[in-house]
Amino acid sequence: MHLKALTLRGFKSFASATTLRFEPGITCVVGPNGSGKSNVVDALSWVMGEQGAKSLRGGKMEDVIFAGAGGRPPLGRAEVSLTIDNSDGALPIDYAEVTITRTMFRNGGSEYQINGDTCRLLDVQELLSDSGIGREMHVIVGQGRLDSVLHADPMGRRAFIEEAAGVLKHRKRKEKALRKLDAMQANLARVQDLTTELR
Ligand code: ATP
């Protein structure tokens, strides 16, 4: 599985439709300050379901819509499509190629599509949840975050790697299961006490 293409239309500084194609391996995006490199990364988070305006470096969600620049008027909608190569079947869907599209209108309306079919945010999250590229995974390392990872103590660095590798999710599930077991043990002890009392 790898990201094949990202198309931005009316998203932040990308007023006109712009498609970036990625080959397997490492992709570097280079450009002068303010040219839109981070906006590309924001588009990637956004299409995968990011809900926090702050994480997208804005004050409110509508800030992702092209606000007008260089004589071009503001646009009424932002749309980003992410195409993922799924020929190895890593995503739980019966398509060799999956395109996720998120659209947002200035009046606040929002829409998600998977391969052209309208769906819910939850469907997008579920599709990506075990792939290592979902909303909860820190595969996107922002400029500030990179510094904190490099300067983290060994435990902090381990937590970061575990999160990126998807281990954290299982650790949290294990902790939750252990808490339930504890509660169950307490209930069992209570039942045993009551049984003893009733005898
Ligand atoms: P640096 O190298 O300094 O981090 P960068 O290449 O990552 O820069 P970005 O932060 O991606 O640049 O882009 C910033 C530009 O995007 C600014 O010029 C800003 O005005 C523009 N921009 C952000 N949001 C919008 C919007 N909604 N409409 C129009 N332009 C926008």
Averaged pLDDT of the chain: 88
For the chain, the maximum distance between any two Cα atoms, rounded to a whole number of angstroms, is: 87
* H helices present in the chain, as ranges: 37-47, 121-128, 143-150, 154-165, 167-198
CATH level 3 topology of 2-134? Rossmann fold (3.40.50)
Q: Is 81 annotated as a binding residue?
A: no
Global ipTM: 0.95
Three-state secondary-structure class, residue 83: strand
Is 74 annotated among the ligand-binding residues? no
What average pLDDT score do residues 123-148 get?
71
Query: What is the model's pLDDT at position 138?
Result: 44
Asked if residue 120 has pLDDT above 60, the reply is yes
Give dist(CA 15, CA 190) in Å, integer.
65
CB atoms within 10 A of CB 107: 8
Indicate the top mutation candidate among 8, 9, 13, 141 to test ligand 1's pocket, ranked by most ligand atoms within 8 A of CB: 13
Distance in Å, CA 136 to ligand 1 centroid: 24
- Average pLDDT (112-129) is 92
C-alpha–C-alpha distance, residues 183 and 1, integer Å: 41
Indicate the domain borders of the chain.
Answer: 2-134
Q: Is the pLDDT of residue 115 over 60?
A: yes
Q: Is a pLDDT exceeding 80 seen at residue 186?
A: yes
